Amino acid sequence: MERKLRIAQYGCGKMSLYTMRYVYEKGAEIVAAFDVNPNIIGKDVGDILNNDNKGVLIQDAKSAEEVLAKVKPDCVIITTMSLMKDLEDILMICAKNGINAITTCEEAIYPWNSAITITEKIHEEAKKNKCTICGSGYQDVFWGNLITTLAGATHKINKIKGKSSYNVEDYGIALAQAHGAGLSLEEFEKEIAATDNITEEERLEIIKKGEFMPSYMWSMNGWIASQLGLTVKKQIQKCIPQTCNKDLNSTTLNMNIKEGYATGMSALVITETVEGITIESECIGKVYSEEDIDSNEWTIYGEPDTKMVIQNPCTVELTCATIVNRIPDVINAPYGFTTTEKMPRAIYRSKALNEYVK
């Protein structure tokens, strides 16, 4: 494509400070921006980027459908919520108007095993109107493509085991609340953990109703299995509260988390496949103490065993860079809700984004 790519930003919080800057620095431009925060609605995007005015004012998210239908960007970046049900409206707006969209929504990386009804509805609408919708971010590379690439150098696999940790303070209030941060242990058990103390049949019914609350690794295990061509036989998850032996202040939640209260959670997902390979993954998201750092550790057990450890990855920046680098892939992908394990592996974009669009 000869012209610059025209991008809209939906959600102008912490993550957008990187996604919008990266868009400009990769030779594209922001043509519309939306948020719900009255404190930033009406500001030029340059103001929140601490940069020169860009001539694009942040508009109320309520106007997104009308504005997007007129502006018709090449792609919308959505950096707001973590569950498909919370993004259904904006994703359907994009699908109905034939506008490509990519989101940091963690469930959207592979919603086919958790939000089937919503995903199928968006998929059909996007196909009809010739656009592509998908989820991406840090997990696309660090929980997905890195692991399946290592698998390609393995003769026999018995188990894939992974663990990743991140500071919920870096991602906004919706993610922190979804991890149970700030809840008492009794509240955590009732509001978070209890949803998984059910039978497999009960879980399937909840998924059919669109009421399931997947952990991030629930979606990721499905993604890994799909890319490796594995058939899922059984999948379970368990959410365990994380605590600290001292009070912690959360600026995101605007509260002091008392000693012994949940600072977040560990979500463990175990997937059994027909092919005999087990995928066991754990993500730990919590409000960090001074001693905590991000980490990402995966082991492939088989012939041979291979272990990968990445200490202190910059998960926010890596998430946002992956989103922006993925934009040409989204535009080039088959229409519908096309998950990234069906796209080329994410690559570094050394040229302007439009030069990668077919």
Q: Which residues contact 208 (CB under 8 A, 6 or more apart)?
A: 116, 117
Q: What is the pLDDT of residue 235?
A: 95
Q: Looking up tokens 């409206």, which residue turns up?
A: 89
Quick one: average pLDDT of 71-89?
Answer: 96
Q: Which residues contact 6 (CB under 8 A, 6 or more apart)?
A: 28, 29, 31, 71, 72, 73, 74
195: pLDDT strictly greater than 80: no
Q: What is the pLDDT of residue 12?
A: 97
Lookup: tokens for 67: 């504005």
306 backbone dihedrals φ, ψ, rounded to 5°? -140, 130
Q: What is the pLDDT of residue 332?
A: 98
352: pLDDT strictly greater than 80: yes
Residue type, 267: A
Q: What is the pLDDT of residue 178?
A: 84
Quick one: average pLDDT of 201-219?
Answer: 90
Q: What is the pTM of this model?
A: 0.91
Mean pLDDT rounded to a whole number for the chain: 95
Q: What is the pLDDT of residue 173?
A: 83
Q: What is the pLDDT of residue 198?
A: 85
| DSSP 8-state code for residue 148 | H
- 80 confidence band (pLDDT: 50, 70, 90): very high
Quick one: average pLDDT of 220-234?
Answer: 97
Tens digit of each residue's pLDDT (9 = 90 or more) over 143-183: 999 999 999 999 999 999 999 998 999 877 888 888 999 99
- 189 confidence band (pLDDT: 50, 70, 90): very high
Tens digit of each residue's pLDDT (9 = 90 or more) over 264-321: 999 999 999 999 999 999 999 999 999 999 999 999 999 999 999 999 999 899 999 9
- 89 confidence band (pLDDT: 50, 70, 90): very high
CA 170 vs CA 102, 232, 323: distances in Å: 20, 33, 16
Tens digit of each residue's pLDDT (9 = 90 or more) over 15-41: 999 999 999 999 999 999 999 999 999
- 238 confidence band (pLDDT: 50, 70, 90): very high
User: Hey, what's the torsion of the CAs at 103, 109, 113, 118, to 10 degrees?
Assistant: 10
| pLDDT more than 70, % of the chain | 100
